[in-house]
Structure 1
């Protein structure tokens, strides 16, 4: 904390400074001024939390100084000191909520006690403000969610919450809804959403506009910008640019702007139009800001048609090991979906799910083992923030497939069947050599010998390594608890899993998670 001493007597100021152990009172800096005018200027520059101020001074007395200071530092706590036991000054000090009144000659013990009391008063003010701010933001969030609901269902709630926040929302209020979709799975330090929101509010005040926001499903931020008049298009362009810039730290994001509508009953229409645009945003590059006006020209853009039976054509190209044909095919698919506002994301996701499955199937047909760390098709779809992400993941899989095809020697069919069976059943704690041998119609002893001769590893060794690699993948995802991961990879005994994992990696599961986080 900072403390400012304002007194026209230099000996008093230096005496107070030298007689107190300020560090023990959590005072990091002690400032001084010789009259009310200089004290006011010092307070404006340094913003002290506590002011120890003489009552009577030349040019401007302490009472007048603190009355003016309340206008820009209302939370600063004053302590008055004076050599006069004047009732009128004492009344003025009480009116200014002075925490204490110390008579001269000053007693260091009294000063210490007064400063300690002032520190606690200041901290209490901060706690109160934080509570008020939190309550206000929670109320504003509830109001934003109410505006994102059809008016006939939310009219009463909107009226009550807007009155509580002293916000005017009437038939002449203009609303524009914006929705920001952010990638919540990224590993980086981004500013807090509340800080971004405060920056947006401060910026909008330049245009006499206000804003409230709410989070939906963790990934979506819903903003309602409102004011007494419809913003000009040029103003909206500036606002769009500023809000986009505020979200740049998220790297992967989309922002869509609904139409502007006049009247609180029509706020939902703006929100609804922003939701519709969010559907199309999937097909645009990350970082795009989409509005109805910006998409008008794109709606007329022509897209090449999809092949009549795309998954069949893709499967045939893979079976023929035709890399150029696969790349041309995927280029045609990309051109169809890229920035296409006439299709829904699920249309593309359904097709790409089938294409990923085609690729997995061709691995099986050619008896090439799937990589143990491969993400399954459903997770790939869920973890793709944009169409570009999804398409690029398929391109990587294709590249890997043709490289593995070129480098690999065709695996023995029995070995392939054994590995495939393990990949589907590794999560079963009771999985045994007997189960595996039964699956390939061979005796347990023969399977063990055959597998070791073909791969250089025992069956149990391969199964353990497979489970450990799967555990490493799961540990990279903070959503999974270590105890859950243990059972997912076939270990009901968490302690045994921990020992096995440390033996395999050199780290305990928790240590491994910390190293990769």
Structure 2
């Protein structure tokens, strides 16, 4: 707590200072001022939570000093020091916003009472201010408000910012992972509430990606103090992250650097979200800065590897065997293409997979060895799936078709991966879906083709290839049988409909 004593009498200052020091308070600073002007300078520089002000001081009296000081530190609590003859002045000070007054000579018990009230009141005020700031930041980020709607004197238009995004990787099932994440965020929120300071405003909110972000802001005129308190705030929080990190649950912190405006913060948070997958090759379970990520953002092959690693992790967490095995094949292919990965990158990839797939990979092992280990993890998923209700097998097949309809896939291929016979899988599928495997696959392909035909830039042949047909003749025949008109007619209808809408809009405007 920061306290200022403003009194032109040296003895009065010494007595009050001695009383405050004997209270054993967590004092961050105990400053003194000998006149009203010096008090204003101290308020500007230190923004104390509590100021004891003598009514009669040189240059500016207590009433004038309080009125001026409130302009620079609106949350400061003011306590008047007065003798009996100045009691009417004390009443005026209360009207100006002073919280209380003390009669000289001051009573230590009264001082203690006022200090404790100031601490409680100041903490409550700062918490409410943080809640308001949290709401403002969340609304801005989600597009529910804009900086244009802010007053020119708004803190948001003047502040400096820094941000951190928390990425969570885990091999726990979705329910357990969500519960662990909730515990972490609740603990983090509690810790933040216990470390509120006047120099900083804090906001903990959820991004559009589902990840959580912490934004901290401070006045540019208080840059040095803001940065000092920021380091004091972040260090114990990083210890908290490590308490939650273990072999099953891992938190990676992705930090922006200092941002001189909200718009800069917004851009950097978006950049972090977009490239957060790079943590798979930079290392998880630690703090990464935006500069650590940016150096890889133009390396498309590495980005593709990162995307596949995230896919493998998601499939394992959701226990989707078919998609998991498909992603493994893709990873093997990409790693063979990127055979120049350095030891550090391979170590980071191995660590990511060890944490998210519960395996034991080593950086010195080759790609073939990695695939064998990961396939064994996939087989465990299959065993788990076979213990479940038969309906879940069909759900997996449906998901697999929806994601891979553009490739050559068949019921025999999928049945082999699920270790069941094609006839058994076909029977299960037909019973639940009310149609055969091939009929469902055809429906998915044709519906997607219908969507693509609205894009006049794609030829009929290109549309056919994108939905798994390499013969436009076969594609046209299948499309016509299902919808009752040719693919070219579908395109004409789309173009005509678009032209009609355009005409209607033109008429409406005119």
User: Is TM-score (shorter-chain normalized) higher than 0.5?
Assistant: no
TM range (shorter): 0.3 to 0.5
TM-score (norm 2): 0.38
- Which protein has the larger Cα radius of gyration, Structure 1 or Structure 2? 1
TM-score (norm 1): 0.38
